[in-house]
Chain A
Amino acid sequence: MMRKIETNTAVQRKREIEDPQKRHSRHEAMEAVQMLDKLKYDFPHSLESMKYFYDLYERVYCKGEKIHSDKPLVGTLCIQVPYEIIYAMDAVPVRLCNGFHTDEQLGGEFMPTKSCSLVKATLGMLQSRDIPAADKLDIIVHPTTCDQKTKAISIIEDMSYDMYHMEFPRVKESEESREYWRRTVRKFTKDISKELGRKVSRRSLKEAIRKVGRAQMAYHKLNELRRVTPSPILGKDMFLITNAFFFDEIERWTEAVENVYEEVKKRVQSGFNAAGKRSPRILYTGSPPIFPNLKLPVMIEEADGIIVADESCSANRLLNDMVSVDEWFMYDMVDAIADRYLKGCTCPIFTKNEDRKRRLRELIEEYCVDGVVYQSFAGCQVYEMEQRSIMQEMEKINIPMLYVETDYSPGQGGQLSTRVEAFIESLKVRRRKR
């Protein structure tokens, strides 16, 4: 009798042990569901057209659906990889920048403790080979933008991924760097097409520029509506939309954004207010919020602020400038693409901070911003350093700024939300007096 019970528990125990890959996916799904539920249910008046995005995230991050399977997949480690050229080869770019705490912990094995959460999480994801929306990566492209990513490359190579390096300049004002980057992009076009065995033709490149341009246009139109007071759409939805651009099928994404635009436009016409009566208008900048690490944007809007504008590489900057072509010749198109990526970039890795300051000032004015929230991932030195000059600039134009250092860990809630709430409360008082 005794023995029988023992064998029973033994059998049962054996069944309970999960395969590591499955466990990893489960942890991720738990994280994703938690954030999605917050975004879906914790805010009133959700947009009907956002359902597409909620479903998309659920399919990809909770159910593990692979969206792209028939075409070559190019993983990109930074926003600076020219999407147009990849599309022109009839391949699909998938951005690998990652926001999972689960992956950050995995990646912590390879990186110093005091390094950026995003880079750690990306390494963790690559190590676990659980890449959202993508089955397998044919190649990973890495522009030498930030130091930590650049130094992480050898670690990724050790995980036996095929890597391609794109040399990126650190000063953008000079003619030399412009030429340097153009040459990098020309070389990239040639090398990748050889690597994937797919040609870029004049026609396919023109079509790709149009395709990306349409996506940008759809986003711009929607983004413009955020200038209106009262603001018709919450920032948390905008972050979800722009984050989906990382991995979604581009034409379907464009269409979904257009649907959101139509619905939000109707809201504007009826004078709808997505936030509270006295919600201060916030500009969000700094280290990029990437799903599911939307904790700071969500905190801001839970504290009765509304994010009306953003300046980060996971949102606004992603779709900033459009390619502007003089002549539809091959060389002209490739150079124009190169320019779009270099000139439009306001990443703090550049020597000078001027361009980012200028863009922030513009956004503050155009979107009637009351205050700025600046996030830096602990260990992201460039954002940590640039904070100082941005803070001084904001003092000059008399716009309050809250600087916060965060990472992906969920345990930062109390102190962080206190600071965010106090900041929003002080903005309300300022506003009342104006």
Chain B
Amino acid sequence: MTGWEELASTALVGTDRRPYQGDLLDAAAVEVARRRAGRKAGAVGQQAPHAAGPQAPDAAGPQEQAPHAAGPLAPDAAGPQEQAPHAAEPQAPDAAGQREQATGAAGRREQAAGAVGGRDGSSEASPEAQAAPVEERVAVGRRAAERLVRIMGGEHERLLPEWLAAAAATGRRVPPYVLPELLEKGRRDRSIRVHLGVLAGQRGRWLAGLNPAWDYLLEEPTGETWELGGAADRRAHLRTLRTADPAQARRLLESTWERETPDDRAEFVEVLADGLSMDDEPFLESALDDRRREVRQAAANLLTRLPGSRMSQRMAERARACVTISRKVIAVEAPRDCDKAMERDGIRPKPPRGIGERAWWLQQILARAPLSIWGHPPAALLKMKIPDWDAEVKAAWVRAAVLQKDPEWARAMFGWDPIADLLESLPADEQQKLAADFVKKHDLDSQLIMVLGGVSSHWREGLATAVLRKIVKVATRQPWNLGELVKLAGERIDPALFPLALSYSPVESVQQVAALLRFRADMYKELHP
């Protein structure tokens, strides 16, 4: 038991029951000053007492009192309670009130001992032994980093993904001081993680190794290779290879296919979407027998985009069995059951709530059957009468246009059901033109917002003006409704158009859009100095 513990336990019980030689509070005061002076600089409750003492005999400080305090018999290690206060007494040459041992003298005397504690503490509690590796990438500039902090702090918070994507595209990293906050964001928001692998740099990964809350970062692509990298790195590698040499990428995938985990297999199949061709068909067809449903589903989705695939042909046959097109009428008979072969081809037997089984099967078959089987342009088909299952057939066409990424069908079906997914199948220019037309004809409602949400950034002048005009119009009648449209406009319009917005109208909502565009323009400027 150390001197201090002795004092504390005696005080706890009381000197009435456990008599103490001398004045306990006097002795305690000396000890407190001593402890505070370094030995336990705050390490209350830790094992600091062991650190002090015998093993540091050479730690004598500059003070003349040091040898007594810092030697092998450091007071805490000394044991007998009376030793500490008494030992203090004789050598307090400059102490003002010598009999009041504590004031003045006690603390000073102990400074060497304090230093001992500190030194020992440092070698024992040696924190993170390994320093972070040197960075390979340059950090973004100070202004850019400050803007990131502003965004994370809540200023136009929705721009965070855009900032991150733009910064990652420059191949740079963020300065270390923003990392904790950024990694914390990534912990809560999966969608931004993909950018963090690059942006966090070596320091970020080093931090993630120290804090389990951030270790998701270690799963993000960093630039490692196929053999050594984590799943994300391998996916990135495969994606790059696929762009350069689709066949080579497929062969690489086939070579390790059996050993991949089910999760990885599902992710890897999706990589084949890029550069998809009939060469991939045999591999994808075999993937339809995979144990994991996600893998089968991903393979079926890709095969749907290959009208010549065996699966598409099988689906075409199923569709033909359901549908008969006469001159102006499409007669439909939904399937009666869902067999194993259909399931293998990605048809899911169990309908979601609210849809009947037969309708569900019908929709899936028609959505996966090649659009060429209809033999008429979509506009003509939409004019025909469908006595039974009308809504199901049209919903299936929408789904087919999305799945098969067919621009002609997407255009036609957007006229029937303007959903954002359809826009994805169209080239950027056309997306914006369609959306602009839609904005002109359509009132501001949630559907309009959804359609606009599907039009990727940066909106050019046509769509930008259409949206600004809509904002001005709505601003007078229902300004309370504008919030989301104003935000979306500010986030998606090409930031270079901010002068256009600024001078377009003095209406406050338009000025808000202009301000946000300006913010983004500055943001890009900082990232590309």
Q: Do A and B come from one complex?
A: no
